[in-house]
Each structure stands twice: as C-alpha cells, then as structure tokens.
Amino acid sequence: MFDWSDSWSVVWSFFWIFAFIAYLFALFAVISDLFRDHELNGWWKALWIVLLVFLPFFTVLAYLIARGSGMERRANRESQQAQAAVENYIRGVARQASPAEEIATAKSLVDSGTISQQEFEAIKARALA
C-alpha cells in the first residue's frame, strides 16, 4: 500500500492522510450546515448534496467560499443557544429551596392534609441533614 522505506514517502503519505482527514472534516461541516440552515430551500439543499456526491472536492470548496460567512453566523447562533440552555439549567439546579423554605412548604402540606405527619418528619429530617 505505502512504500515506507523512503523517508520522503512517509512524509508524503502523512501529508495525504492529513489532507484527506481535513477534507472529511470540511465535508461533514458542509453537510451539517446544509441541514442546519432553515432559510435555504429544500431544492437548493438537494442540489448541494447531489453536487457533493458527484464533485465532492470542488463542491466543498465552492460551498465554503459562497456560504462560509453564513456558516459562521449559524454556528455562532447555535453556540449561543446551547450556552444559554446550559446557563438556564445551572441556574435552575443552583436555585434550590433553603431548609427553612422546604420545612415551611411541608408544614403547609401537613396542615392541608396532603401529607401525613410521618412524611413531614421525613422531609424535615432530610432538609436539616
């Protein structure tokens, strides 16, 4: 497969392996951006996919030149949405009721008859632990 006896052929082989892997990353970035873009018509998406099948290298290059700035905007918007979701989740988890609030809520549930006295004691013990 490869002639590993010559050091330059090794360097050349690593170069082509790197180039192929870089191409695969670009190809998957283009495909994921095509499906992420909700403003692009379905027929245009289908055309880009067909071109990717028949002229893969030139189509990836053309897509990156023609729609590269849009790719960046969509990636930034998706990253900001993911960051906002993580921050909202962290805020929701971090804001837990204090032991006094939990006991007060449990006391109101006991007074209304929703939970029993034993359940109230268990909640109180867990809150104070």
Q: Each residue of 9-24: pLDDT tens digit?
A: 888 889 999 999 999 9
Pair 56, 108 in one domain: no
Pair 39, 78 in one domain: yes
Q: Which residue has the tokens 């990353």?
A: 25
In a domain, 29, yes or no: yes
User: What contacts 31, CB < 8 A, 6 or more positions away?
Assistant: 49, 52
User: What contacts 27, CB < 8 A, 6 or more positions away?
Assistant: 52, 56, 60
Pair 76, 109 in one domain: no
pTM score: 0.59
C-alpha 103/C-alpha 26 separation (Å) is 56
Closest CA to 119 of 64, 2, 109, 24: 109
pLDDT digits (tens, 9 = 90+) for 108-122: 888 888 888 898 898
Residue 129, domain extent: 97-129
| Tally of domains in the chain | 2
C-alpha 37/C-alpha 31 separation (Å) is 10
